[in-house]
Amino acid sequence: MFPPSPCPGQAQPGPSRWGPWRPLPARAARGEHRARPRGSRVRAPARTFPGSGPRRALPLRLLGGSSSGDCARRARGLAACPAVRCGAMAEPRPGLALRFQRLFLAARPLRSLPWPELEQSLRTAPDSALLADILHKTILHPLCVKYPPSAKYRRCFLTELIKKPTGDCVSLCESTALISGGTTGLVTWEAALHLAQWALENPSVFRDRTVLELGSGIGFTGIAICKTCQPRTFIFSDCHPRVLRQLGENIRLNGFIPEPAGTWSIQTESQGQEVEGENCQNPKVIVAELDWGSVTEKQLLGLRADVVIAADVVYDPEIILVLIGMLQKLSTSRADTKAPEVFIAFTIRNPATYQLFQAELDKVGIRWQMIAAHSSCNFLYDVQPDVTILQLFI
């Protein structure tokens, strides 16, 4: 029951048993008010913000917190982000990366993300910039770092993301530990990424040539070169049995069929032309067990390498001396022909080790020059200022 509304010009009634007189809302004055059934709930009006629709609470169970306090903290942080304010919006449809951000930070089910549109966009994209943008707006977003969803949610998101076609990509199976099985060769190091980036910017160095990689590890740099730089033959090499086994698996994982180098003999150019029609794989991929200390000049001559590369192999004084000794064997094995071009990328972790490498090169008469750093980045990693590439003239 409501108090009677005064007629126009009638004096306003004083206080009554309903309390002080107040004007009725417009709906009630027009007789549109409905009595609310006993026991029903009153729905509070949604709070709105300028330029957005109603603000919705985030389901805490989707945020992956281990406690209610943890979930509440994540919900407060996520709800404060404009990317997760949901509702009808008058602004134009946001970009694909921004839509991924809003849904990811709201911890929406992964199946609700616009995966089909992403696949369509990646088929026509010239590079992986879109994937990088999505990663920086989701997994690497400061809000996600401070208030992360559950590890399972993030892992499933990344698993789904890397399945999308991005043209030439490298898939690897590697160790999560820096040292595993008594070797450091089961993980990709920064210098390998740096060298691969430089190779992508200088494909002419490798095109239609035989490339020998020293200390290939699990094969990231070599596989990237095989997929993008069109070498005629690429020879992966290492000496650790477990590394060689994992290297072969990664090569096959990326669609290449490695050939053993048991005879240590690579076909000459004329022989290669004869079997060009028989060998459908381009480039020819070889995995060789190569011990720098015991390899002979005759074996190196059989490889007939035009280009020699290595990444993160300059980190120990003893290894430096063995490496330079093998480079000397390479120079003498090609005395009758042009010596191979040599490019070595390494991270300067200890300046004394780097200076020793330069001093030993000068001692044996191997000239060197530093290659300028690349200007772009195709890989998601922190570019270390102490990673550099040297070209050696043997």
What are the per-10-residue average pLDDT scores of the chain (394 residues)? 50 50 52 51 44 38 38 38 39 77 93 90 78 90 91 90 71 71 72 89 94 92 92 93 89 86 50 43 87 88 91 87 90 73 89 89 91 67 71 90
Upper half-sphere CA count for residue 127 (Cβ side, 13 Å): 10
Nearest to 63 by CA among 76, 46, 44, 52: 76
pLDDT score at 120? 85
CA distance 221 to 358: 24
The amino acid sitting at 17 is: R
Upper half-sphere CA count for residue 199 (Cβ side, 13 Å): 32
| CA dist 382 → 156, 172, 190, 194, 387 (Å) | 24, 19, 8, 10, 11
| CA dist 349 → 132, 192, 355, 357 (Å) | 28, 15, 11, 13
How many residues does this entry show for the chain? 394
CA 139 to chain centre: 11
- Residue partners of 43: CB distance under 8 A and separation at least 6: none
- Residue partners of 161: CB distance under 8 A and separation at least 6: 131, 134, 135
pTM assigned to the model: 0.60
pLDDT score at 89? 39
Nearest to 157 by CA among 124, 108, 119: 108
How is residue 205 written in tokens? 């160095």
pLDDT score at 189? 79
CA distance 304 to 308: 10
How is residue 186 written in tokens? 């089961």
- Residue partners of 207: CB distance under 8 A and separation at least 6: 229, 230, 231
pLDDT score at 330? 85
Upper half-sphere CA count for residue 382 (Cβ side, 13 Å): 5
